[in-house]
Chain A
Amino acid sequence: MKSKSKKKKIVVSIWDNKRFVVGFTLLMVFIVLGFIISNFSPYDPRSWGTVPEELPPSLKHPLGTTSLGRDVFWFLAEGIKNSLMIGLVAAIVGGAVGVTVGITAGFSGGVIDRILMAITDTFIAVPSLPILILLAFLFKGRASIMVLGLIISIFSWAWPARQVRAMALSLRERDYISMAFFSGEKPYKILFFEIFPHVIPWTIANFINAILVAIGQEATLAVLGLSALEEATLGTGIYWAMQYQAIFRGLWWWIASPVVAMIILFVSLFLTSKGLQEHLASRRS
């Protein structure tokens, strides 16, 4: 009855999903700030002493200045760009490796599956933070943004791999996959046209999630002083503010700016990913 009564195709737009709209709008603000506005910085936001020290927010310095003589606003804009970059690198590398490992394991089965999953499980089970700290320590806070992204991606592929494998395993059992085979469809076409479309929606949602996690991990490393301290990221913003006791000295704008920015960024990423997932789930049923 359900299938018969739905003769008219119901088109549900992603823009009807409130979570997505709010999340995506906020995210766009961050992207514009990080990738466009940051290029118009009047001075190198990283260098010290370019502006007078410890000024509260004003028209000239919308988010004030730091004890190091940096403009908080321009440092933040640059930091958003770099944090997003780290997130992107980790999510792309982790996602690509994860999907490849997951599909390979799920479809080959047997020994290959068992070996790949043993490795994957190891990466899931091992606590990532101590190892990240160890690796970051080797770079003594001088890693570039790229390298940081890669280090973080070491741990960002395992969970997607598990999930994709589970999906591949269940897809492999679907009747329409067998039907495609018995209709003479080539294996690569089955992979691309029958299986990929079902994995892609999940991959997109997971991708955004991976960005979120990577930004968080970078911040953790930064607070411990192990990130790319010479670069501007959301994490290093917090690091320097803490180093100079910004909280106790009442320089609230210095510490609050990166923290609030990070919280809003997290919320926007979370809402975007959640909204996408909801939308895709409703479309599939």
Chain B
Amino acid sequence: MAEKLLEINHAQIYYATLAGYVKAVDNVNFDINEGEIVGLAGESGCGKSTLIKSIYGFIKYPMKAISGEINLLTNGNKLNMLFVEKEELRKVRWKYISYVPQASLHVLNPVTRIKKQFLESVKREHNVKEKEAMDEVKEYLKSLGLPPDVLDSFPHQLSGGMQQRVIIAMATFLKPRIVLADEPTTALDVVVQRGILQMLRDIQKELKNSLIIVSHDMGVHYQITHKIVIMYAGKIAEIGPTDEIFNNPYHPYTRLLINSLPRIGDREQRSGIEGSPPNLLNPPEGCRFNPRCPSKMKICEEKIPEMVEISKGHFVACHLFQKNGKRVKEDAE
């Protein structure tokens, strides 16, 4: 069985505002194993970005970890990334866990050559001479199909796609066990997007680690992930193998979302989901999807549904399913 790399138990991460806490991630549980590409999917404001930032230990006011654990499992040690010391973070970042930010964020320092930035980020725990490190970096870039002379450029001399490829190279150079990618291709052109997604996938295959990718684009998840976590309004609605999520979704939200996606070559009339996601200052009682759900029952307004396993590795949090995985009633159309 594949080794477990990350376990998330009852994670609660809120945002402090003057009007109260925005419950961005509320009681979320799941594990991540070695060798998986996991997609975090959902609409804006569903908490997927908050969650991935927290996994990286990147919790900054007004974001606040309330309770729970996001345990990074490294060589038998547990490190709760929700409440972690800066010193501890420095030890695990880049080496065990690394982060690829949104392409449009321009994280590279515009006045420093790529070479210097690369060495600074990978050298910290790695006491190698500069010359040797440099040769290694060049070798690595070549293996990823990047021209080594990008190292001598300044970030603005490279296109957005090339910058993102350099950042991915930096993030994977020390062979981390977990790579987090937060909307890694948003705002990039589709051709470049495909190239970058392939690159992430190939590196994962090579390192046999796990890749967690956040995207609002279901197509991205369909193309490269093995497993999808569907989030809605700060909670997990459904987790399952990618193909099952697309072909046999259990949660009404997942089903409506998948059905609303237009497909080329198919002009069938499609419709979106009525209403809009709830305000997370005062989320609805019970299941958070109940105000928009076509299969709503009385219990949905009263009780928060628990996660049940329907088939191997396929979980859903919906009152349509009993604890033993049996369906209570048919889903309304």
Contact = CB atoms under 8 A, between A and B. Distances in A.
Nearest to B50: A1
Contact of A7 (B19, B24, B44, B277): B19
B279 A7 contact: yes
Contacts of A1: 22, 24, 44-45, 280
B253 interface: no
A184 to B, nearest CB: 30
Nearest to A1: B45
B45 A4 contact: yes
A31 B277 CA distance: 54
A5 B279 CA distance: 6
Nearest to A3: B45
A56 to B, nearest CB: 54
Contacts, number: 25
Interface in B43-67: 44-45
A8 B280 contact: no
Contact of B15 (A5, A7, A8, A10): A5
A10 B20 CA distance: 12
A7 B279 CA distance: 9
Contacts of A8: 18-19
A10 B19 CA distance: 9
Q: Give the interface centre of A1, A6, A7 by most chain B CB atoms within 10 Å.
A: A1
A175 B44 CA distance: 23
B324 interface: no
B218 interface: no
Interface in A1-59: 1, 4-8, 10
Nearest to A4: B279
Nearest to A8: B19
Contacts of A7: 19, 279, 281
Contacts of A10: 18-19
Which of A4, A5, A8 gathers the greatest number of chain B CB atoms within 10 Å?
A5
A126 to B, nearest CB: 31
B63 to A, nearest CB: 12
B17 interface: yes
A8 B44 CA distance: 20
Main secondary structure of the interface of A (DSSP, over half): loop
Interface residues of B, number: 12
Contacts of A5: 15, 17, 19, 22, 279-281
A71 to B, nearest CB: 53
Nearest to B280: A5
Contacts of B45: 1, 4
Interface string B268-297: 000000000101110000000000000000
B279 A6 contact: no
Interface string B296-321: 00000000000000000000000000
Interface in A208-233: none
B44 to A, nearest CB: 6
A47 B173 CA distance: 81
A238 B45 CA distance: 62
Contacts of B17: 5-6
A39 B3 CA distance: 86
Nearest to A7: B279
Interface in B1-35: 15, 17-19, 22, 24
B109 to A, nearest CB: 25
Nearest to B17: A5
B102 to A, nearest CB: 15
Which interface residue of B18, B24, B44 has the most chain A CB atoms within 10 A?
B18
Contacts of A6: 17, 19
A154 B22 CA distance: 53
A1 B45 CA distance: 5
Nearest to B282: A7
A245 B18 CA distance: 59
Nearest to B19: A8
Nearest to B49: A1
Nearest to B15: A5
A161 B18 CA distance: 39
Nearest to B46: A1
Given A6-B17, A7-B279, A8-B18, 11 more contacts: A1-B22, A1-B24, A1-B45, A1-B280, A4-B45, A4-B277, A5-B19, A5-B279, A6-B19, A10-B18, A10-B19
15 contacts: A1-B22, A1-B45, A4-B279, A4-B280, A5-B17, A5-B279, A5-B280, A5-B281, A6-B17, A7-B19, A7-B281, A8-B18, A8-B19, A10-B18, A10-B19
What 8 pairs between A and B have smallest CB-CB spacing?
A: A1-B45, A8-B19, A5-B22, A10-B18, A4-B279, A5-B17, A5-B281, A1-B44
